[in-house]
Chains A and B, each alone.
Chain A
Amino acid sequence: MRNYVLKKIGLGIILLFCVSFFVFSMIYLMPGDPVTIMAGQLAKPENLEALRHEYGLDRPLLVQYVDWITGIMHGDFGISYKYRIPVWDMVSTRIPISLKLTVITMIIQYAIAVPAGLYCAFKKDKAFDRITVNTSLVLTAVPSFWLSVLLILGFAVGLGWFPASGFETWKHYVLPITAGVLSGLASTIRLTKSEAIDVLNEKYVTTAYAKGLPERRVLTRHVLRNSLIVITVNLFMSLPWLISGYMIIERIFGIPGMGNLMLSSIIQQDFNVVQAIILIITVLTVICNILSDIVLGFLDPRIRISVTGGDK
């Protein structure tokens, strides 16, 4: 198990290295010049040179990368080109907001989707299953941005129950979280259902019945237990995707999260900030991947053996 975790962490570090290099070189892949962007089109050439020197952009690429990555390890993401304040100060306040929303959304989403998906699998082709399948088919065709706007139209503008934007009280959270939950609900239900159906068709479920176990025990100890492997892994894996998907929702509901900041930074060409956010989300992704692998190892004894190079 220890080797297994170490191997996964090693892969994660390689991944981080690759992404960080890509993110770092973004600025050189772009057609524009960061210094011009900072100073504006009308700046004098000597000022540009001074700025270039001030930000260390006149040194060799690799030196810059090493500097950059060392800085980041000490929590220094550089200075925003646009606002001239440390990027970390801009980003750090926003991470908890995004994380809080995503985690709440995820919990609610799974609390609804897993029981619903399991129920659909157990009662396949019955009324509830059919309704769920058809609803989720339609739901997958609805983009989250439109869903959010519709929610605002219905519950904020129309009924006036909840505010349309802001993040001060719990009421502000209702609509964004609803939008977040709904936008991922269909795929989670589908995944749970198909996984549970696969497990239900496994021969060991027949064995469990043949042993004389009561149906309830078969469903909880065998079907549910084994379906949870894939479902839990999926939960961890989808967290970063949810955070990035939340970008749209943050934008619409005016929530000052990471995604919202990233979007405005892209539009304002504040690349330091964009870089920082991409990197942070990648770090989160890598952490989630490692966590999901570790959880998988705990849930499925077959993995532990095959990865640690056990007897078979």
Chain B
Amino acid sequence: MNQSPIKEFFTSCYKNVNFMIGFIMVLSVIVVAIFANQIAPYGYDAADPTSILLAPSGEHLFGTDNMGRDLFSRIVYGTRITLQVALIGAGLQLVIGVTLGLLSGYFGGPLDKGLTFLADLTYCIPGLIMALAVVTIIGSGLTNAIIAISIVNWASYTRMVRAKTMSIRNQAFIETGISFGESSRSIMFRYILPNIVPVIIVTVSMQLPGTIMSTTTLSFLGVGSMPPSPDWGLMVSESIDYIARGPWMCIFPGLALVYTVFGFNILGEGLRDLLDVRMKSQ
């Protein structure tokens, strides 16, 4: 009965099955990424011409690819790329989305109108098309792919943050702050931002799986990571030519990707239940 709110929150985290499973899955990916050097028996680019397209065995847990590289090691190193995508992607989208959302929701007026129009515009163009257009302009590569996906995704963040900011802006404590002579910046970042943190957390966790999936798709299409990167999307795309002789080349990277995305997905669902943020897509 007399638990502190924080303790209570952790107790409910513990009880939330989705959150716990998702948390453990994501944590396992993070652990693998950190200890990749210790876990992987071979280097991610250690080609061995004498052991090409070997089936999974004790020596090569997931088999080897067409260049004789150990797939298990490549997948282990691939976690680093995936997490890099998640971190940079979420960071970029957060900075763009939260800033624009705060400005738009706080000031309203023509700025808000303009940003809303821009957001509507982005919503109208299919994401993959826009990402490809951006990549065409700024060039291929993993970082550029992440930037492209972030440019596609910023609007969802901005919308959420904007809506929440507007509802908080009309509350009494903001008026109090203004009457005490707080600057707009201080009100946005010290009064409003802390109140929208749950919404931001939930938005991030809901967008992350999509960010990972889209970036991997760009790598698969050949405009993201470049060989010899152990990017899972790139690995699946490299596997197509050898699909009959070495099906493991396509199966394991895909499984790793599904595992990670699924983990992030249900972690997000759990967080949404826990933070009780009601969001509907429309």
Contact = CB atoms under 8 A, between A and B. Distances in A.
Interface of A: 15, 18-19, 23, 26, 29-31, 137-138, 140-146, 149-150, 152-153, 157, 191, 230, 240-241, 243-245, 247-248, 251-252, 262-263, 266-267, 271, 274, 278, 281-282, 285-286, 289
A149 B240 CA distance: 7
Contacts of B266: 137
A241 B127 contact: yes
B250 A289 contact: no
A131 to B, nearest CB: 17
Nearest to A241: B126
Contacts of B135: 266
Nearest 5 A-B pairs (CB), nearest first?
Answer: A244-B126, A141-B262, A146-B254, A141-B261, A244-B128
B220 A145 contact: yes
B129 A278 contact: yes
Given A15-B121, A19-B121, A146-B250, A274 B133 contact: yes
A153 B247 contact: yes
Interface string B202-229: 0000000100010011001111000000
Interface residues of B, number: 40
Contacts of B124: 15, 19, 282, 285-286, 289
Contact of A145 (B139, B217, B247, B261): B217
Instruction: Decide if the interface of chain B is mainly helix, strand, loop or mixed.
Output: helix
Interface string B248-269: 0011001001100110011000
Nearest to B210: A140
A149 B137 contact: no
Given A244-B129, A267-B222, A146 B257 contact: yes
Contacts of A263: 132, 221-222
Nearest to B259: A141
Nearest to B266: A137
Contacts of A146: 236, 250, 254, 257-258
Nearest to B237: A145
Contact of B217 (A143, A157, A230, A241): A143
Contacts of A241: 126-127
A26 B136 contact: yes
A285 B125 contact: yes
A278 B133 contact: yes
Contacts of B261: 141, 143
Interface string B25-60: 000000000000000000000000000000000000
A248 B244 contact: no
A97 B132 CA distance: 21
A106 B258 CA distance: 24
A258 to B, nearest CB: 10
Given A30-B137, A244-B128, A245-B128, A149 B236 contact: yes
Contacts of B121: 15, 18-19
Most buried by A among B133, B257, B265: B133
A149 B222 contact: no
B170 interface: no
Contacts of A251: 221
Most buried by B among A137, A145, A230: A145
B240 A252 contact: yes
A188 B223 CA distance: 29
Given A19-B121, A141-B258, A248-B220, A30 B127 contact: no
A18 B243 CA distance: 43
B136 A274 contact: yes
Contacts of B104: none
A157 B221 contact: no
A94 to B, nearest CB: 15
A281 B126 contact: yes
B150 interface: no
Contacts of B136: 26, 30, 266, 271, 274
20 contacts: A18-B121, A19-B121, A26-B136, A137-B265, A138-B258, A138-B262, A143-B216, A143-B261, A145-B233, A145-B237, A149-B236, A149-B240, A149-B243, A150-B250, A153-B250, A191-B281, A244-B126, A244-B129, A271-B136, A282-B124
B216 to A, nearest CB: 6
Contacts of B250: 146, 149-150, 153
Most buried by B among A26, A251, A262, A266: A266
B171 interface: no
B282 interface: yes
B73 interface: no
A311 B136 CA distance: 49
Contacts of B129: 244, 278, 281-282
A97 B209 CA distance: 31
